[in-house]
Amino acid sequence: MKVVAAVNGLITSEIAAFYALRFAAQLGFPLTLLHVENRLDSLNDVERSMVIIEEAASENNVITERVFLTGYPIRAIRRFLSENRVDTLFCSTSRHRTFFQNSLRQQLTYLPIPVDLAVVQVVRLDAAHAVRNVVLPIEEDRLSVKKFSFFASFAKTYGAATEVYSVTLVDSEKLAKLDIHLTRSLLTKINDHLSHYVKLAHCMGIPLRIKHAVARNKIDQVLHHLAHHDFQLMIIGGRRQSGLSTLLRGNPIERLLHETPINTITFYGRDNG
């Protein structure tokens, strides 16, 4: 199994590759630096990025390889992924997007691919090298083992303290009816459901705490929490949905990615179908 990082010579993709490198180092996997040749990217910049990542990889005892593909990017990547045993593909995303822009990241999240996908939103350049606190926001107790293991890998590789931030959504009427007793029983139930993760984290030697919030808007609440605390990395779970579905139903993650004040990795589980 290998970890793949898509590199296009931009600083954001380079930082996404550093996260991939730390992930690969933690799991003992080799790191593949992948580039699909296209006229928009400077090959010099790509190669310079790869050199920097390879130097860092050798410091972390991670084996690297370079792969250059040609052709239509999404097809080339899917072919590469189907021909190789890949665990996770890391790619970066731009903070500012236009409505008509259909980036590689968007295409990768719309289409079924047979690997886990980690989309890295880089907003701070320095945060990839010193991560002290990692946060994983979830809705109530919805936390998959896949997502948790991805989150725990990062916590372990950086030796960071971790926090699972559970947000329970309620409407204003329900919020007004909540008293201490009701809230306590609600949060106790969530804690019970998440208790096995706490035990697992304890066994892995990762300091984990669970924090709760009851809110009317999940994204506002998470942004508020990030502003108040000193996190360097946030990991969130993403759901694959088509462009049409995004247009019709909206995608709250897009807003979170747009407004996040810290580096954020969105984790999409592999499509097993």
Residue numbers of the site for other proteins (CB under 8 A)?
10-12, 14, 18, 48-49, 52, 56, 94-96, 122-127, 129, 220-221, 223-224, 226-228, 230, 232, 259-262
Q: Which is nearer to other proteins, 101 or 185 (by Cβ)?
A: 101
Rg (C-alpha) for the chain, rounded Å, is 19
Cβ closest to other proteins, residue 12 vs residue 148: 12
Q: Which of 102, 67, 93 is nearest to 81 (CA)?
A: 67
In the bound state with other proteins, the residue whose beta carbon lies nearer, of 197 and 266, is 266
Cα–Cα distance, 179 to 65 (Å, whole number):
57
Alpha carbon of residue 102 to chain centroid: 19
**At closest approach, how far in Å is the CB of 124 from other proteins?**
4
Compute the least distance from the CB of residue 268 to other proteins, in Å: 21
| Least distance in angstroms from the C-beta of 127 to other proteins | 8
Shortest Å distance, C-beta 192 to other proteins: 28
CA atoms of 155 and 213, how far apart (whole Å): 22
173-182: list long-range contacts, CB under 8 Å, 24+ apart: 175/214, 175/216, 178/214
Provide the β-strand partners of residue 155. none
The DSSP bridge partners found for residue 138 are 166
- The Cα 151–Cα 216 span in angstroms is 26
Distance (Å, whole) CA 41 – CA 37? 7
Least Cβ distance, residue 102 to other proteins (angstroms): 15
Least Å distance between CB 64 and other proteins? Answer: 16
We find the least distance from the C-beta atom of residue 129 to other proteins, in angstroms, to be 6
Q: In terms of CB distance, is 109 or 260 closer to other proteins?
A: 260
Residues β-bridged to residue 116:
88
The residue assigned the tokens 């990795």 is 265
C-beta of 145 vs 175, nearer to other proteins: 175
153 vs 260, beta carbon nearer other proteins: 260
Residue among 130, 149, 77 nearest 108 (CA):
77
* Residue 40 structure tokens: 């928009």
- Least separation in angstroms between CB 20 and other proteins: 15
State which residue, 92 or 109, has the beta carbon closest to other proteins.
92
Concatenated DSSP letters of 196-208 = HHHHHHHHHT--E
User: Is 143 or 221 the residue whose CB approaches other proteins more closely?
Assistant: 221
Is 62 within 8 Å of 30 (Cβ atoms)? yes
